[in-house]
Structure 1
Amino acid sequence: MDRQHSRSDRMIHQFDTFLRTLIPRAASAQRSNPAEKVADGPLDDQERRLSSGLMRISHTSEVCVQALYQGQSVTGSLDQPYKQREQSALEKIDHLAWCDERLAQLQSRTSYLNPLFYVASFGIGAATGAVSERIGLGTIAATQEQVAKQLEVQQTSLPAGDHRSRAILRKIAVDDAHHAQLALEAGGVRFPAPVKWGMRFAAKVMSKSVYHL
């Protein structure tokens, strides 16, 4: 029988997830890194900087989605959608750990702007979760769809020799597309095109800002 989570349980879990999301190297993956047995080709300094910027964008994208999950878990219900969000959020920790590890291999770092984006996304998650479960799940689905599309573009933008980053992004894209589908199947609203265009614009602003910072 599943243990019921109280509000205090959720707050403790929130704080733990907050630390694992924002403190560099604090996230620990439960699944094997998809790049574990992948060998890179040669990368010069310029290619390494390109890969670092793209992986930093991917890491921040995962921070934002994790914050959405956590914001909605505060204001949403304790029923099956909560359990689904909790499982997807655990997989997000894997994504964060993989990106963080890859950035370290590239002799780079995560974005200085992550706390800002976490707070903003947490607020959006809490607000949409408070409006309704369907709106909250729809926000997750639409965001995950945007991130998955962004990851596909980033894979083609990586240097030809950066096989490890590409393997990580490929797996994250598959997971994110699956998370989006789960949110829709749980009753999430399909947002109209204008809303998705606005989300796409916000994603572009985020990407440009964290590429260097």
Structure 2
Amino acid sequence: MSEIRYRPSDRFLLTVDQLLRRLPAGGQRPASGPADDLPEPDGLTSAERRRAAALMRVNHAGELAAQGLYLGQSLAARQPATLAHLRAAGDEEAAHITWCQERLRALGGRRSLLDPLWFGGALGIGTLAGLAGDTWSLGFVAETERQVERHLDGHLARLPAADRRSRAVLEQMRRDEARHGD
């Protein structure tokens, strides 16, 4: 069976389609999340709630940026295996966006006003990384994910101990990010 070779315009339209399907809108959400079976913490002080919401806002913005990186890299990927890896990782990032958004809402927080800037900048950086070639692009993914793991470790250390729901989300995200970088 022969491989499908997409023109750049086809690949661009497929990427826009992926973007529209991945970014949470309305009631779309993954089938389940890591915090679904945990109770909402009722012993958080208002300061702890604000701190947890601030951390989840940063994580939400980071996941939007990761989505931009993967989509940008997908635009320029040359090998089907590279494209498949980027798409699979992007699908998980879409779930992470939803989980972070749900935690923000539950904590009484809001999304960053700079989300469009983070996404757009990352889309550009991802496209440039992809244009450098698949090997370079996959190396960029591995290093980015290593840095994200360290970032999540820091957030896990700063998260209020009673917020088991946010902790479950960040721990699952950390496991997923480690797998993306492999």
Distance 1:152 1:27 in 2: 30
Residue 86 of structure 1: aligned partner: 87
Give deviations 1:46-69, integer Å, cap 9, x for gaps.
111100100011111111111111
Tell me by how many angstroms 1:156 deviates.
1.3
* Cα separation, partners in 2 of 1:28 and 1:78, compared to 1, 3 Å: farther
Tell me by how many angstroms 1:26 deviates.
4.9
Secondary structure class of the residue paired with 2:91: helix
Tell me by how many angstroms 1:107 deviates.
1.4
Tell me by how many angstroms 1:92 deviates.
0.8
**Preserved CA contact (<8 Å) 1:144 1:176:** yes
**Preserved CA contact (<8 Å) 2:73 2:130:** yes
Give deviations 1:164-195, integer Å, cap 9, x for gaps.
000000000000011011xxxxxxxxxxxxxx
Distance 2:25 2:53 in 1: 16
What residue identity is the alignment partner of 2:81? Answer: Q
Secondary structure class of the residue paired with 2:181: helix
**Preserved CA contact (<8 Å) 1:54 1:154:** yes
Tell me by how many angstroms 1:132 deviates.
1.3
Secondary structure class of the residue paired with 1:36: coil
Equivalent residue pairs, number? 180
* Cα separation, partners in 2 of 1:147 and 1:122, compared to 1, 3 Å: same
* Cα separation, partners in 2 of 1:31 and 1:173, compared to 1, 3 Å: farther
Residue 197 of structure 1: aligned partner: none
The answer to whether residue 28 in structure 2 is matched with residue 28 in structure 1 is yes
> Which aligned pairs between 1:1-213 and structure 2 lie closer than 5 A?
4=4, 6-7=6-7, 8-19=9-20, 25-26=25-26, 28-39=28-39, 40-181=41-182
Tell me by how many angstroms 1:3 deviates.
8.2
TM-score (normalizing by structure 1): 0.77
Give deviations 1:54-97, integer Å, cap 9, x for gaps.
00111111111111110011111141110111111111111001
Tell me by how many angstroms 1:30 deviates.
3.0
Give deviations 1:141-161, integer Å, cap 9, x for gaps.
111111111111111101121
* Cα separation, partners in 2 of 1:91 and 1:49, compared to 1, 3 Å: same
What's the Cα RMSD here?
Answer: 2.2
Distance 2:2 2:175 in 1: 28
Distance 2:139 2:101 in 1: 28
Distance 1:27 1:16 in 2: 18
**Preserved CA contact (<8 Å) 1:65 1:144:** no
Kindly report structure 1 stretches of 4+ aligned residues shifted beyond 2 Å: 1-22, 24-31
Distance 2:104 2:164 in 1: 14
TM-score (normalizing by structure 2): 0.89
Q: Which runs of 5+ in 1 are unaligned?
A: 182-213
